[in-house]
Amino acid sequence: MKTLTLAPNLIQTKQAEAIKNQTLRKDCQLGDIKLVSETHVEIGGHMIKITKNAYRSLIKTMGLPSTFTSRLDRLFNKESKTEFINVLSKAIQLSGKSSVSVHVSPTDKQIVGFSGGSTLITNKTFFDFSNDIINEQGFKIVDIFNDEYTGGTTINTILDRDVNIKGMTNETFHAGLTFKNNPLTGIMVSPHIKRLWCANGCTSEMASESYQLNDLTGDSQEKFIKHLHEMRKNGFVPSGYADTVREANQTTASINELQQAYRAIEPHVGEKANSILQMDANKSAYTKAGYDVNLMSPDQKKSAKSNQSIWSIANAMTWVANNADQTMNTNIQDSDKTDLQIKSGNLLSKKWDHKNAFANPFGDLNQDNQIGLHLN
């Protein structure tokens, strides 16, 4: 089965779109940013709206952990929390950490993120960098997803070379790389796998082969090229990928993992998420066994087994990312597709929940129930 690649004119259109939607950047002092609420800041006397991710990135830019605001929520009301963060930011500035980059959407002029004054890699520079590598290595571009929220962009590529998983039918892949540019964090290059049975693609940012570039100086590029040559030796297939696929196909997903996958795809496919992942069937089976899934603790959900394999739910997420907008009415955006591909890849890379605290009401996995495997 042949992987469809993007036509040259579509590649040019998507790249031009990404360059046009590049976020605007302004450098300022941390003390000049006054947090008004979780949705607005004041800079230089101007009230500006911020996104939820921008609020989180402001906290991160201050050097605070992501759990910091949730702790404050338990201790203060909203007004006291905002005042506390503003006082803390001034104290941090006095300690010497003062330069902050503010990233603004060119379309709606709201702030989409803050970063610690790192060098911005523009989308044009990113395309020059990635296009050179794509052409030199013989990659084919299969997707370009532009993030309308951050102004970032993602390129998925593959080599036109079959990779087979021994012992499994309908499991032939093309391996390649995902090039992702985020104005807040720089360039991330990660393994990308395209499953030929259903044209599903997943990206694993947790893979050991993933590489982060915060700038494109000569030294940074030289180190990356060395890393690229090492990946080339294995055909750009992530280490141990075949073993991971075989194990994922035989490993039962927990209720916790099933719910995470369901919540990831449900906003984009609605009720079809239930038919794909059989969430109601799982809840019903546990109800008959004397357990209410909705009342289970997080640890219990990790211990409780579903009627789905890890491989099935991973493919369900990538099917929605790659095929949902072609088979049903959905408002899925490019940024959503990228997010689902990464969530699927990271699911395969993480340590799965396969504790045995709960008996599995389904017994062994029934292959007829693995809907995600057969989506095409």
* 49: CB partners within 8 A, 6+ apart: 39, 40, 110, 111
Concatenated DSSP letters for 33-101?
EEE-SSSEEEETTEEEEB-HHHHHHHHHHTT--TTHHHHHHHHS-HHHHHHHHHHHHHHHHHTT--EEE
**What integer pLDDT is reported at residue 202 of this predicted model?**
81
- CA torsion 305→308→310→316, rounded to 10°? -140
**What integer pLDDT is reported at residue 292 of this predicted model?**
96
Are 13 and 139 part of one and the same domain? yes
In a domain, 245, yes or no: no
Are 228 and 303 part of one and the same domain? no
Residue 258 token pair? 């099933």
Q: Which of the listed residues 186, 213, 238 is the one where a domain comes to its end? A: 238
What does pTM read for this prediction? 0.79
Is the distance from CB of 196 to CB of 173 less than 8 angstroms? yes
In a domain, 206, yes or no: yes
Per-residue pLDDT of the chain (376 residues; tens, 9 = 90+): 556 788 999 999 999 999 999 999 988 888 889 999 989 999 988 999 999 889 988 888 888 777 777 777 777 787 888 888 888 888 887 776 678 899 999 888 899 999 886 667 999 999 999 999 999 999 999 999 999 888 999 999 999 888 888 888 778 888 999 999 998 889 999 999 887 666 567 887 667 789 998 888 889 999 999 999 999 988 898 888 888 888 998 899 999 999 999 999 999 999 999 999 999 999 999 999 999 999 999 999 999 999 999 999 999 999 999 888 887 888 898 889 999 999 998 898 889 997 444 556 666 677 778 888 777 6
Query: Total domain count for the chain?
Result: 3
Are 224 and 135 part of one and the same domain? yes
Are 230 and 338 part of one and the same domain? no
d(CA 111, CA 53): 9
Are 12 and 131 part of one and the same domain? yes
Are 107 and 143 part of one and the same domain? no
Q: How far is CA 26 from CA 58, 63, 86, 102, 356, in A?
A: 14, 20, 20, 5, 53
Are 280 and 266 part of one and the same domain? yes
Are 104 and 137 part of one and the same domain? no
**What integer pLDDT is reported at residue 15 of this predicted model?**
96
Helices 52-61/68-75 angle, 10° precision: 100
Q: Which of the listed residues 215, 238, 261 is the one where a domain comes to its end? A: 238
- Domain limits at 313? 251-374
Are 13 and 144 part of one and the same domain? yes
